[in-house]
Copies of this chain bind each other. A is one copy, B any other.
Amino acid sequence: MRRIDFMTVVGILAGIGLMGGALVMGGNPKLFWNVPSLMVTVGGSFAAVLINFSFQDVKNVFGTVKQAFTTDLMEPEELIELFGELARKARREGLLALEDDAGRLDDPFFSKGIQMMVDAMEPEMIREILETDMAYMARRHEIGQSIFKTWGNLAPSFGLLGTIIGLVQMLARLDKPETLGPSMALALITTFYGAIMAYMIFIPLAGKLSLRSEQEMMLHQMMLEGIISIQSGVNPRILEERLRSFLPAKPRQQQAGAGEIAREEATDRRI
């Protein structure tokens, strides 16, 4: 269930609107369109990105961009409910009964974890496998963000590089002073392109991807704790309390109070 991330779209439209407005208000917006400047700034920084990363990484970026505009992460509250349900089912019908639930989330991490639990793999091995999975997924996410961050950091440098190229060319033929202004304006446009690329596009996109990755890591951490807890037969309400500690306090209070849960558990253990 992939949903559009309105903030990214709104932010980009607002940015285009505001920048465009400022260009139009200042007179001739055509001033800011120059192909050689685009070549130096966009092309040059992209060439540097190609040197920095591998073919596989750069190919993956296009899929990654999509993630900044849409989201298919589930709500943590739903996950807590799901795990509460699974824990109750496991208590009633045994761990093997959960085999059919492995496919309930469209997340290979979840189904792998449930399967390993159902198949009675040892908890330390499950934890180790899932933590390795998370660590290297985080690392792959970082590479994606890193492409945008690197591009965002290089873009203003290539902008300045273009401005210097323009200045050198201009200064070498100072004999026609009436061309001085427009030449220098042209030289500055590369700096403008570099700044727009960096501050309006790549750096915020890298930030968004980083937040997404963190949310996904939190969901996976919750799944990991939930799976290990179900396997060790923890009380379903303790499990919910355990998972709810990942979330802010407010939604937690709307649920049954901690006291009730713990009391039930205490009863539970005395039996």
Contact = CB atoms under 8 A, between A and B. Distances in A.
A12 B173 CA distance: 30
Contacts of A180: 174
A189 B167 CA distance: 10
A139 B249 CA distance: 14
Range for the number of chain A residues in contact with chain B: 35 or more
Given A18-B39, A54-B211, A173 B166 contact: no
A169 B115 contact: no
A22 B54 CA distance: 26
Highest count of chain B CB atoms <10 Å: which of A6, A133, A168 = A168
A197 B237 CA distance: 47
A47 to B, nearest CB: 4
A27 B111 CA distance: 62
A161 B199 contact: yes
Contacts of A47: 11-12, 14-15, 18, 200
Given A14-B50, A169-B31, A184-B171, A164 B192 contact: yes
Contact of A165 (B108, B173, B192, B204): B192
A55 B6 CA distance: 8
Contacts of A188: 164, 167-168, 171
A101 interface: no
Interface in A2-58: 5-8, 10-12, 14-15, 18-19, 21-23, 25-28, 31-32, 36, 39-40, 43-55, 57-58
Given A7-B51, A115-B259, 12 more contacts: A22-B39, A45-B199, A51-B205, A52-B205, A112-B252, A115-B258, A119-B266, A125-B238, A157-B195, A157-B199, A164-B195, A171-B182
